[in-house]
Amino acid sequence: MSEISITAASAEDAGVVHALVLALARYEKLEHEVTATVDDIRSLLLGPRPLAEAIIAWHQGNPVGLAVFFHNISTFAGKPGLFLEDLFVQPEHRRKGIGRALFQHVAQLAKSRGCRRLEWIVLDWNQPALDFYDGIGARVRDGWMVLRLE
């Protein structure tokens, strides 16, 4: 889609990133779990010591998609990796190549940074996302489970 531009989020984009995170949470039926504020987003992604990065997809000057990612490592390979925390495109802008463009942008960053892998988690009920990832050749890792301690 030629009218799409992808930019690294800047401190001035904290409100845009926050709004897209809220839209993602609504889509995933998890809005009740969002406690992050615009200031939290600014600090996490855009502050003096960012813990993650964000890129925004723009269409005709409007933010329509988001990818948030951070580095992890493989001690087995002795190489860095990237973990894709969020990939989201506003529902009315889907099936236009925006998600693929965001994903390719992150994958290219991983490659240029010498990363061994790009990993992410997807909700098991999110069939459109599963179909999208299947279409780009991603596979579920058998034998691995996501664990969390809060």
Supply the residues annotated as catalytic: 133
Alpha helix stretches (DSSP H) within the chain: 14-27, 38-46, 98-112, 127-135
Q: Angle of helix 14-27 relative to helix 38-46, nearest 10 degrees?
A: 110
Amino acid occupying residue 30: L
Q: Three-state SS across 17-31?
A: HHHHHHHHHHHCCCH
Q: How far, in Å, CA of 44 to CA of 41, rounded? A: 5
